[in-house]
Structure 1
Amino acid sequence: GVRRYIVRETFGPAEQLTPIPGSVLYDPAGLALRNPAELFIANRAAHTGKSSIARVSLFGSNFSYIDSFSGNGVTDCHQLNFDPVSGELFQTNWSSGVLSRFLFDASGNPVPNGTILMPDSGKQLGVVVRPADRQLFVSDYTKVRRFMPNPDGSYTFLGYFAINNSTQYHFMKVKDDLLYLTSFSENAVIRFSFDAQGNPTEKDRIVASNALDMDFSPDGQEMFVTDHGNGGIMRFRYDSITETWIRNGDDIPTPMLGGIVIVPTACPLSADLTGECIVDLEDLRIFASQWLVPGDDYYCMMGGNLVGDKCLVTLEDFAEFVAQWMMKYPPDE
């Protein structure tokens, strides 16, 4: 499944929310937002060749599974990402050498838009688009491929870049026109700047154990990095003086993780169980239905379990529910 947390302020504590259950997913590996209300999840399907892409609606601090789709070369998914300019979706496929492309119709439904064959027909892990020139990057374990879009929608291969050949590169993001690339076996997030021609040059690296993916707080002051080996989400703060990231605070404890994405508009009210971002009678009905019903402590599905360590809705949770009663977000002026 996909674990969900809410951090109500930069550097604040992480509170676990109801996870997206594995029953509607299949070995999820990558996460990407089409918009703050629509999450796409790459189902790796345990390398069986039966991958798919799930769509989940996000509302308030809750979610609703929409559907999943496949086809157009989707066989062995890892990272997926959107072109921030065109809105096109790119989905990597580990074993086939084919990068899947999707556009969206007026109703928001995915429409296949062909594929891009890797020039080496090799494996794929990460994918990202640089907004400044819409340059497309696709990683495998030992290198990153570069492509440039053409006016007709096709892509021209520009070449490869790599730091060394034993790094196990994985997922990528772009922030403030810097390319962030995880290097799993080097325990690092590597940052690249771009010259006037768009060529990447290594800027620096941030130590991060078993790094696989990263994302950033809405204000850009905190970076979250997933630990794929031991589990946990590592937290870093941005130091504007040195212009780099510094380890900050305790890790968020989790099982072994893959992709991560930050939703900037999550409702801060944990007692909002219906997604309307107001705590009212509808939420109370759901809370009451979960009262003293035992759940799985490891993978708690009880939204009413607001503060307890164990997956059981008790008086401690009720006190927090009462504290949020009739609160709404954003609050009335």
Structure 2
Amino acid sequence: MKTSVITIILLLLPTYTFAQSNDDPYDQRMALYQKYEAITNIPWYYLAAIDQYERNIQKEPISEGVISITIPIEKWNGHGNPNDHDTLSAEEAILFDGIGQDGDGDGLADRSNDEDILYTMANWIYQFGTTKQDVKIALWNYYERDLSVQSIMFTAKVYETFRSISLEDRIFPVPLQHNYSYRSTWGDPRGFGGRRIHEGTDIFANYGVPVRSTTYGVIEMKGWNRYGGWRIGIRDINNTYHYLAHLNGFEKGVSVGQVVKPGDVIGYVGATGYGPPGTSGKFPPHLHYGLYKDNGYSQYSFDPYPALRKWERLTQQQIDK
């Protein structure tokens, strides 16, 4: 019996063996990402970012393991393949121009196997190259959607910066020692610029109160919006866009493409908006906080109030420690 190249490589990489005995899903995922980085030369943070993106758009991932990437069966098996099962021989996938690969060396391309999934995705990227631009091109050819590519690349940038995938900390957007107030206002009617609904929660505070990033993410947008005035948009690692508006100004040095973490000051409470650049004072100073979810097909607004209440409690708990 011939020993496959993959089997030989796996035997030579004992430090990256997937430890089923470790119950921490973050450790399990990281072990797999690093293992297939070593095998394919695709940086682990790209594989982790793809997995994270899919984790947030898939209702029911095919894999029952720790990896959430779900590769469509027609792409896995190959178009025109009469075999519609999730498991086939690696040779059969190649015969029908499918992308399914054998990652664990058992001779099968199993669409529900964590190792086969990661090895297949890494191989898909590798055919385009290993540079950042190569990865972007590979992702576009796979997802054929600009926002999907951008979300994955942003998440990879965050993971690369912090060298971790365990990034669950959150914080309230304004320091709790300042006077502020807010209530649920999502869905309320708004009149400026035409009939529309309020897509966010207003946190009323004094001019100049610091505004902080609540999450890990990348600044996607910065500048003037006729509705929101001076505003910043942050794309987090959960496919969620955080829209912070009516700022009095930005923190010095804040720029588009910058990685942020919970607590980083990005601007200051103001009353800008409802007009051309520089318009201010048409309403009391406050921070407009909006959340928009990307489901892989479209982006939609949802009520941020429950999240803000949760982040407020978490921030107070940290203070009380």
Please classify the TM superposition score into its range, dividing by the shorter chain length: under 0.3
Structure ID, larger Rg: 2
Structure number with the higher strand fraction is: 1
Higher relative contact order structure (alpha carbons within 8 Å, sequence separation ≥ 6): 2
Instruction: Give the TM-score of the pair, scaled to structure 1.
Output: 0.26
Structure number with the higher helix fraction is: 2
Instruction: Give the TM-score of the pair, scaled to structure 2.
Output: 0.27
